[in-house]
Amino acid sequence: MSRRFRARTVTNIVYATLLTCLIEIFLIANVSMVAEYLRRMESDSFLLELMNLGPIMALLYVLAGIGIFSLIFLRLQEKHLKYLSRISTAIRDISEGDLNTNIEVKGDDEFTAMAVNLNRMVEDIRRLMEKEREAERTKNELITNVAHDLRTPLTSIIGYLELLSGKTELPPEIQKKYIDIAYAKAKRLEKLIEDLFGFTKMNYGKLSMHVGKVDIVKLLGQLLEEFYPNFVDRNLSYELHSNVPAKVIDADGNLLARLFDNLINNAIKYGADGKRVLVQIHAGDEVVSVSVTNYGYVIPADELPLIFNKFYRVEQSRSTHTGGTGLGLAIAKSVVDMHGGTIQVKSDLDGTVFTVKLKVHFDVNKENFEVAQ
């Protein structure tokens, strides 16, 4: 029992005791006066007979005192007892599955704290159940999207292979064309499975990080050079700006390469109309900020919060025109999370900007982390 509740209870007991004593004194005085009056009147009253039986009268006074004390004390405690009853009812409702229960918070005592904690518990349970429902919905959506994205290239591959293995003799140039198409579809299938497998490992914490020293300026320069044919194919130019010539940070080089590979690839796919992709590095003592900007398609504001969801694509037709699997940005988010960093997106007429912030010094003394030799 806390000090405040104990003090209030003791106060009520003292108050009830004082009132009981006053009432008892008043009662005894009045009974004595009535008895004295009856004696003078030489009345044969039952009250006089009781008054002559001292022990019985004493017992009656004690019982009356107990009764009076109980009534006064219960009256003083009535507000708290009613509040406690409401809390008890709420607990029963919650145990029966009614998560819409909410207890009105009144006062500033132990019962108030109990009500606040119960309301918080119900809110936590509601949030947990909502997360479970969302996880179930996401799982079903994942299965549907995987089935769709696997079936489309697989159906094409089977179709072209059936044409090639058919009885009709095809000209060599047609055969080569069909083989090239089937190969491209197979590569897309391989990319989807690779992305899905990688994302699953990251998402469920089954991927160990090999943390070492990574020059992030050099890494981004190499990645942009590797994407040069893609830039040329989309009639795009690129620029790399950095406030330092080199910046070494603690990170998993392979995972960082995958992170920025996805961001640059995304900028190329959706930024063709803007004719330019800009990569900027701002290195501080504790944090490195990298932004990848394209000046093409503007992402609608209501879709920005969904952009890092797995299998989410801005164009919902899931066509192969952009070549995406819908996992690239989800993988990027997972890599950033594993490094304890942040990733944000902003999109308007001034461009679509993905900004990644990473710590320069990283704590490798964690589960699933290894120091690269």
Across the range 14-22, mean pLDDT stands at: 75
Q: Taking 80 as the threshold, does the pLDDT of residue 272 lie above it?
A: no
Amino acid 317: pLDDT: 47
Q: Taking 60 as the threshold, does the pLDDT of residue 1 lie above it?
A: no
Lowest average pLDDT, out of 70-79, 86-95, 117-126, 147-156, goes to 70-79
Q: Which of 296, 299, 295, 276 is nearest to 345 (CA)?
A: 299
Amino acid 223: pLDDT: 93
State how far the Cα of 150 lies from the Cα of 185, in Å rounded to an integer: 10
Q: In the numeric block, which tokens belong to residue 141? A: 């959506």
Q: In the numeric block, which tokens belong to residue 358? A: 């990473």
pLDDT band at 368 (very low <50, low <70, confident <90, very high): very low
pLDDT band at 311 (very low <50, low <70, confident <90, very high): low
Longest Cα–Cα distance in the chain: 141
pLDDT over 90, % of the chain: 21
- Asked if residue 361 lies in contact with residue 283, where contact means CB atoms within 8 angstroms, the answer is no
Beta-bridge mates of residue 238: 277
Q: Taking 50 as the threshold, does the pLDDT of residue 69 lie above it?
A: yes
Residue 126's CB is within 10 A of a number of other CB atoms, namely 12
Token pair 């107990």 in the structure block, residue: 66
Higher pLDDT: 191 or 132? It is 132
Lowest average pLDDT, out of 63-77, 117-131, 145-159, 219-233, goes to 63-77
Q: Taking 60 as the threshold, does the pLDDT of residue 264 lie above it?
A: yes
Average pLDDT for the chain = 78
Q: In the numeric block, which tokens belong to residue 309? A: 């969801």
The CA distances from residue 131 to 53, 100, 134, 264, 333, in Å, are 75, 17, 5, 32, 19
Looking at the chain, the domain(s) classified CATH 3.30.565.10 span 209-371
Higher pLDDT: 307 or 293? It is 293
Q: Taking 80 as the threshold, does the pLDDT of residue 278 lie above it?
A: yes
Across the range 291-302, mean pLDDT stands at: 90
pLDDT band at 284 (very low <50, low <70, confident <90, very high): very high
Amino acid 343: pLDDT: 95
Amino acid 67: pLDDT: 76
Across the range 309-317, mean pLDDT stands at: 61
Predicted confidence (pLDDT) per residue in 73-111, tens digit:
677 666 666 777 777 777 777 777 777 777 777 766 676
Beta-bridge mates of residue 241: 280
Topology annotation, domain 209-371: Heat Shock Protein 90 (3.30.565)
Amino acid 369: pLDDT: 47
Lowest average pLDDT, out of 81-95, 263-277, 296-310, goes to 81-95
Q: 342: which residues sit within 8 A by CB, 6+ positions away?
A: 336, 356, 357
DSSP state of 362: -
pLDDT band at 34 (very low <50, low <70, confident <90, very high): low
Sort strands 351-359 and 342-348 into parallel, antiparallel or unpaired: antiparallel
Amino acid 54: pLDDT: 55
Predicted confidence (pLDDT) per residue in 332-348, tens digit:
898 898 899 999 999 99
pLDDT over 70, % of the chain: 71
State how far the Cα of 352 lies from the Cα of 259, in Å rounded to an integer: 17
